[in-house]
């Protein structure tokens, strides 16, 4: 395993800048997830590390050695693709051995590596089968095994679970997490699925339009988003984002939604309160019942078994439909569509965003 360092890396296709002076340090043994929507540059960034895309500006180092001018095979990386790319006429054993034979590794060493990888992935019984005889999950394990036998410094995963059904994605996700724990290898994993990112990553790198929006642990990203983009992209259900006016007197602050809904906030020392125009709060911090001070009407009720999500139209006193907020109730909630409900908002879980989408979190001093 080895560290990975990107220094002011840029990439353009013609006039389109897809990676813009991006710098990032990944520690040895870390599992880092590149997360973002389609077109944000995450796969391009991974392919630049792998050597499948050239670097226009900046540098890439692996284990302290600059590699951006080296061929892919000389970088010490192994890549697992979204599509398995297995040779259909070869057995699993032959697929795993192919790259090792090309570099003229001794047959005994090839067999040792295949046996070790097959044991780790629990695919010993599949070694003599061909890809057409395997399920999608088995094919993906073989593709991972083909990477393991190379004994790389860094593993690169390019959306490897995208072709699997939901149940199989969940199982394979667990297998990758266990693989990382057993091997303690440096891994970089690309996905647009925030559930994969949250459950796998030591740290998440949220990308947007070729730039890093935020880097942090899964819970840092979830609980302390730096922007409305991060807040809206990470988390299921999506965060509530409501237009608000913020007032502060130096020792206390409050957010106003419409004319009648007031939320007291623990934001002592908040400066320039008027610049904050959006209030963000996740559904689990908005609870139904218990004599909450905010009233509204249940418009949609989603029963998920362990909890119930209630979409509440707030009563703002201004006439017409008010903004909607998603709240959480117990799994056995009796709330029905059309019911009048009372909700409470945990003020310590609130994030305020300014007009540029930058954040300020409850309980923290303004920057």
What CATH number is given to the structural domain containing 204?
Answer: 3.40.50.300
pLDDT above 90 covers a percentage of the chain that reads: 63
CB 236 within 8 A of CB 212: no
184 shares its domain with 316: no
Residue-wise pLDDT for 179-214, tens only, equals 888 888 899 999 999 999 999 999 999 999 999 999
How much is the pLDDT for 182?
84
- The answer as to whether 366 is a domain residue is no
Instruction: Kindly report the pTM of this predicted structure.
Output: 0.88
Look at residue 271 in the predicted model and tell me its pLDDT. Answer: 67
**Domain shared by 152 and 270, yes or no:** no
Given this model, what pLDDT does residue 365 score?
A: 44
**Using 50, 70 and 90 to split pLDDT, how confident is the model at 319?**
low
One domain for residues 308 and 345: yes
DSSP code, position 64: T
Burial of 1 (0-12, 13-18, 19+ CB in 10 A): middle
Please, which pLDDT band fits residue 269 given cuts at 50, 70 and 90? Answer: low
pLDDT at position 366 is 45
User: Does 335 or 264 have the greater pLDDT score?
Assistant: 335
Identify the domain containing residue 270 by its residue range.
Answer: 240-361
Dmax over Cα atoms in the chain, in whole Å? 79
- Candidate from 89-103, 146-160, 171-185 with smallest mean pLDDT: 171-185
Do residues 312 and 174 share a domain?
A: no
Same-domain pairing of 43 and 111: yes
Cα-Cα-Cα-Cα torsion 356, 361, 364, 367, nearest 10 degrees, comes to: -10
**Residue 318: is its pLDDT beyond 80?**
no
> pLDDT band at 320, cuts 50/70/90?
low
Residues 206 and 244 in one domain: no
* Claim to verify: residue 207 and residue 70 sit in the same structural domain: yes
* Residue 82 shares a structural domain with residue 215: yes
Residues near 112 by beta carbon (within 8 Å), at least 6 away in sequence:
none
Residue 341: inside a domain, yes or no? Answer: yes
From 194, 225, 256, the end of a domain falls on: 225
pLDDT of res. 46: 96
Question: Highest mean pLDDT range out of 81-85, 142-146, 165-169, 249-253?
Answer: 142-146
Q: Which of 171, 190, 225 is the last residue of a domain?
A: 225
Q: Could you read off the pLDDT of 44-87 as tens digits, one per residue?
A: 999 999 999 999 999 999 999 999 999 998 999 999 987 878 89
Residues 287 and 275: beta-carbon distance below 8 Å: no
pLDDT of residue 362: 61
Residue 256: the pLDDT is 85
How far, in whole angstroms, is CA 30 from its chain's centroid? 15
Query: Cα–Cα distance between 59 and 23 in angstroms, integer?
Result: 9
Same domain for 273 and 177:
no
In a domain, 235, yes or no: no
pLDDT interval class at 270 (50, 70, 90): low
Q: Is residue 230 one of the residues assigned to a domain?
A: no
Residue that finishes a domain, picked among 174, 190, 225: 225
- Is 232 within a domain? no
Return d(Cα 154, Cα 1) in angstroms, integer: 6
For the chain, what is the mean pLDDT? Answer: 90
- Does a structural domain hold residue 233? no
Same domain? For 74 and 221 the reply is: yes
Say how many domains are in the chain. Answer: 2
* CATH code of the domain in which 326 resides: 2.40.50.140
Kindly state whether residues 189 and 46 are assigned to the same domain: yes
pLDDT-derived band at 367 (thresholds 50, 70, 90) equals very low
Does residue 33 lie in a domain region?
Answer: yes
Give me the mean pLDDT over the 110-119 stretch: 92
Same domain, 320 and 355: yes
**Is residue 367, in this structure, part of any structural domain at all?**
no
């Amino acid at each position: 395993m080895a560290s990975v360092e990107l220094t002011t890396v840029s990439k353009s296709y013609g006039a389109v800048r897809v990676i813009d002076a991006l710098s990032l340090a990944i520690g040895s043994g870390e599992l880092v997830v590149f997360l973002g929507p389609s077109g944000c540059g995450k796969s391009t960034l991974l392919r630049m590390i792998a050597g499948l895309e050239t670097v226009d500006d900046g540098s890439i180092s692996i284990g302290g050695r600059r590699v951006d001018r080296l061929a892919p095979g000389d970088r010490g990386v192994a890549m697992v693709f979204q599509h398995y790319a297995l040779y259909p006429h070869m057995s699993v054993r032959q697929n795993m051995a192919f790259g090792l034979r090309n570099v003229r590794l001794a047959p005994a060493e090839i067999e040792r590596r295949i046996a070790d990888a097959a044991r780790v992935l629990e695919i010993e019984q599949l070694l003599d089968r061909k890809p057409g005889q395997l399920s999608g999950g088995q094919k993906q394990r073989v593709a991972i095994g083909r990477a393991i036998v190379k004994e790389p410094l860094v593993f690169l995963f390019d959306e490897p679970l995208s072709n699997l059904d939901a149940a199989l994605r969940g199982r394979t996700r667990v297998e990758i997490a266990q693989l990382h724990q057993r091997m303690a290898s440096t891994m970089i994993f690309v996905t647009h699925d925030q559930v994969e990112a949250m459950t796998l990553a030591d740290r998440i790198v949220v990308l947007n339009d070729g730039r890093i929006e935020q880097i942090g642990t899964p819970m840092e990203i979830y609980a302390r988003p730096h922007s409305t983009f991060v807040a809206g992209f990470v988390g299921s259900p999506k965060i509530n984002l409501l237009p608000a006016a913020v007032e502060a007197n130096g020792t206390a602050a409050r957010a106003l939604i419409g004319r009648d809904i007031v939320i007291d906030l623990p934001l002592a020392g908040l400066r320039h309160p008027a610049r904050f125009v959006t209030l963000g709060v996740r559904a689990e911090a908005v609870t139904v019942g218990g004599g909450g001070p905010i009233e509204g009407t249940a418009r949609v009720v989603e029963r998920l078994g362990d909890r119930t999500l209630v979409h509440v139209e707030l009563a703002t006193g201004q006439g017409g439909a008010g903004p909607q907020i998603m709240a959480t109730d117990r799994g056995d909630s009796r709330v029905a569509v059309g019911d009048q409900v009372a909700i409470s908002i945990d003020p310590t879980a609130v994030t305020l965003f300014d007009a540029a989408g930058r954040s300020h979190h409850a309980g923290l001093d303004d920057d």
